Amino acid sequence: MSEKKFNIAVAGATGAVGNQMIECLKERNFPVKSIKLLASSRSVGRKLRFKGDALSVEELTEESFKGVDIALFSAGGGTSLKFSPIAASSGCVVIDNSSAWRMDADVPLVVPEVNPHAIADYKKKGIIANPNCSTIQMVVALNPIRKKCGIKRIVVSTYQAVSGTGKKAIDELFDQTRAMINFLDYKKNVYPHRIAFNCLPHIDVFLDNGYTKEEMKMLNETRKIMEDNTIGVTATTVRVPVFFGHAESVNIETQEYISASDVKALLEKAPGVKLVDDIKNNIYPLQTDAAGQDLTMVGRIRQDESIPNGINMWIAADNIRKGAATNAVQIAEILADKYL
């Protein structure tokens, strides 16, 4: 990295993702000259720590971005739609975690291990989009296979932690679990059904085609990141009673044959991937192991014996880190190093 330092803003700093972004900037020693922590008017005056300093949270307004070089947004789609162009017009580059800009043809959608070259297109609108967490971990694991032998079709079922819904959902799982093990009544505010001791095949809203929006994000974002509109992706996204870490059962049909042992050899060397696959010793990716670190864990790699060119695998990653904050800070690192 160059010696240059940058003025940073974090919009949504009090949230689950925003908090982790602040941590990632510190952990990865990002060259920060100054940092502004932004949230809604509800949080004004709250203090958050950055490298030992207690910083006051400020209200996100149209004036917030003057003098800012890079703004990391995780304050929801509506806030991004309104404030990203304002931030960009004051000369800063926005890295946005919401779905608001992901499918905009003039906004690059970036996973650094897969398509870092796309960052160059930030100049079109001054905005770079961070993909959905479930898409990120899937493409990190599948891209080396796509490069080697092509992928025709992906069938994925997700097992997503409640932290993907934000701080209120983390509290809801905790409160419902405590109520149930004490034989007390539980409250339900975030999800339409009880999440404690349950799995909900419902993430984001239902669309006219019967899929959820989360499921369609996995199709559309995968195609954009892999720059291939012919890949078929069919997803079932499921919320499970886990606090941190998303897992995915993934089945792929490749264009050319590849053996399970060659997939293991490829993934052993793949950027951002940790091969966790030793079934003789009951070793495979677990959400509890994926949480708190930045690698995408892949295991249970085996031939799909029902078709000629099929592979099955199980993937786990930290949805708040690699699925959101770490990926955004990795993008900021490349931007800072190569473009600013």
Cβ proximity of 84 and 100 under 8 Å: yes
Minimal CB distance residue for ligand NAP: 15
319 binds ligand 3JN (CB under 6 A): yes
Binding positions for ligand 3JN, 118-137, rule CB under 6 A: 132-133
233 annotated ligand binder: no
Residue closer to ligand NAP (CB basis): 22 or 258: 22
Provide the minimum distance between the beta carbon of 165 and ligand 3JN in the complex, in angstroms, as a whole number. Answer: 5
146 binds ligand 3JN (CB under 6 A): no
Count Cα neighbours of 95 within 13 Å in the Cβ-side half-sphere.
Answer: 30
- State the binding partner of 330 from ligand NAP, ligand 3JN, none, CB within 5 to 8 A by kind: none
Cβ proximity of 217 and 102 under 8 Å: yes
> What pairs with residue 236 in β-bridges?
157
Give whole-number Cα distances, 12 to 91, 237, 313, in Å: 20, 25, 34
Catalog residues that contact ligand NAP under the rule CB under 6 A.
Answer: 12-18, 39-40, 42-43, 60, 74-77, 79, 97-98, 130, 132-133, 164, 166-167, 323-324
316 binds ligand 3JN (CB under 6 A): no
Query: Of the listed pieces 18-26, 147-155, 158-166, 301-309, which binds ligand 3JN according to CB under 6 A?
Result: 158-166
Provide the minimum distance between the beta carbon of 80 and ligand 3JN in the complex, in angstroms, as a whole number. Answer: 7
Provide the minimum distance between the beta carbon of 12 and ligand 3JN in the complex, in angstroms, as a whole number. Answer: 11
Query: Of the listed pieces 113-121, 159-167, 171-179, 180-188, which binds ligand 3JN according to CB under 6 A?
Result: 159-167
Cα four-point dihedral sign 160, 166, 172, 173: positive
193 labelled catalytic? no
Backbone angles phi, psi at 114, to 5 degrees: -110, -55
217 binds ligand 3JN (CB under 6 A): yes
Query: Dmax of the chain from CA atoms?
Result: 61
Backbone angles phi, psi at 112, to 5 degrees: -55, -30
With 0-12 / 13-18 / 19 or more C-beta atoms within 10 angstroms meaning exposed / middle / buried, residue 32 is middle
For residue 144, the tally of other CB atoms under 10 A from its CB is 22
Write down the catalytic residue from 133, 149, 193, 199: 133
- State the binding partner of 150 from ligand NAP, ligand 3JN, none, CB within 5 to 8 A by kind: none
Q: Which of 129, 119, 136, 117 is nearest to 295 (CA)?
A: 136
Q: Which of 311, 287, 315 is nearest to 299 (CA)?
A: 315
160 annotated ligand binder: yes
Residue closer to ligand 3JN (CB basis): 309 or 327: 327
Give whole-number Cα distances, 65 to 11, 71, 85, 308, 332, in Å: 10, 8, 11, 54, 16
Q: How far is CA 274 from the centre of its chain?
A: 17
176 annotated ligand binder: no
x/- track of binding to ligand 3JN for residues 71-100 (CB under 6 A)? ------x--------------------xx-
Cα four-point dihedral sign 97, 101, 104, 107: negative
92 labelled catalytic? no
Number of residues that bind ligand 3JN (CB under 6 A): 11
> What residues form the annotated binding site for substrate?
160, 239
Residues marked active site are found at 133, 246
> What residues form the annotated binding site for phosphate?
102
Q: Contact positions toward ligand 3JN, by CB under 6 A?
A: 77, 98-99, 132-133, 160, 164-165, 203, 217, 319
> What residues form the annotated binding site?
14-17, 42-43, 102, 160, 163-164, 239, 319
